[in-house]
Structure 1
Amino acid sequence: MLERCSVKELDGNVFTMIGEQWMLVTAGTPEKCNTMTASWGGLGVLWGTDVATCYVRPQRYTFGFMEESDWFTLSFLGGAYREQLKLCGTRSGRDMDKISACGFTVAAGAGDAPYIGEADLVLVCRKLYAQDFDPERFVRRELLDKWYPAQDYSRMYIGEIVEAYRKK
């Protein structure tokens, strides 16, 4: 069971949570949504607001949901869900219902934003800003070949963290 909390009460290493344990980025509505595993993102303060940042490539099925909605969520799950996180990172929601296949339930936060009910921590975000990575702006050009050989540059989304939920 999740309970609402303040982001100021959260603890944990963001680098481990995002980069090693991964998170699920979910957008759409509780009735029609998609989720994808992400290991790129950040949490911080921007424009005097608590924010979360995530990155989605245009070919990802979740991209369309992110574009259509003003809201998205980040769900952090425990180690028992590693196989489900792998599936959500390697399979497309165009081809299968990943949420059902993983045995996840969808709950809704502010803005009717869908999130994964089995999460240990959920951040409900209202989009503030979105921008595509511009290859001309890369200072370290070797990153282009390493991370974008197909030139499918990610879109960065910055969202105000409107609600946070954690496991009791």
Structure 2
Amino acid sequence: MRSIDPKNIDKNVFSAIGDQWMLITAGTAEQCNTMTASWGGLGVIWGAPAATCYIRPQRYTKEFVDREEYFTLAFFGEESRKALQLCGSKSGRDIDKVKECGFTVRTAECGAPYFEEAELVLVCRKRFAQPMDPDNMPQEIKTKWYPQEDYHTLYIGEIVEVLVKD
């Protein structure tokens, strides 16, 4: 994979995140966990390119993102759809998702894990994390998305490296 400037990302982020999904990964090359996500965004905050992602409290990956300084967001081609479905429906507490999916773990310059099979990887330095406050949400959002009251934590990561498949 080669590094590019974040301004040269040529994906439609609405489609890439909402339709094609992404993997949120954190940990080390030796022990990492990943999960599929379809909520997130890209933009600029505090003078730097940034990504947002959202993780529910019961997700195993949350422990890794909370513990580490860096996490990655990886985007794949349609050929990886089954692997992303598995990563979104099974817990890393119960199975080795990386092995099950046949992914090859690589590390960014900062040591954050990502998968060689990805088409695009955003390496993010965690800059902010905060649980979503239900008191600041409309009731219809709480009713539709949070019947179990398992409100996401919002993460903002400064994009420190962008890797693309050659």
**What is the TM-score with the length of structure 2 in the denominator?**
0.98
User: How many angstroms does 1:110 deviate by?
Assistant: 3.1
Superposition map of 1:64-83 within 5 A: 64-83=63-82
How many Å separate the matches in 2 of 1:56 and 1:10?
24
Moved over 2 A (4+): none
Q: Give CA deviations for 1:117-158 in whole Å, capped at 9, x if unaligned.
A: 1000000000000000000011x2100011111001100000
Question: What secondary structure is seen at the aligned counterpart in 2 of 1:124?
Answer: strand
Q: Give CA deviations for 1:37-87 in whole Å, capped at 9, x if unaligned.
A: 000000000111100000001100001001110110000000000000000
1:149 matched to which residue of 2?
147
**What is the TM-score with the length of structure 1 in the denominator?**
0.97
Amino acid at match of 2:85: K
Question: What secondary structure is seen at the aligned counterpart in 1 of 2:130?
Answer: strand
Superposition map of 1:1-168 within 5 A: 2-138=1-137, 140-168=138-166
User: How many angstroms does 1:9 deviate by?
Assistant: 1.2
The answer (yes or no) to whether the contact 1:110–1:162 under 8 Å persists in 2 is no
List runs of 5+ in structure 1 lacking aligned partners.
none
How many residue pairs were aligned? 166
List runs of 5+ in structure 2 lacking aligned partners.
none
How many Å separate the matches in 2 of 1:104 and 1:88?
11
User: How many angstroms does 1:111 deviate by?
Assistant: 2.2
TM-align CA RMSD: 0.6
User: How many angstroms does 1:4 deviate by?
Assistant: 0.9
Fraction of identical pairs, as percent? 57
How many Å separate the matches in 2 of 1:45 and 1:9?
14
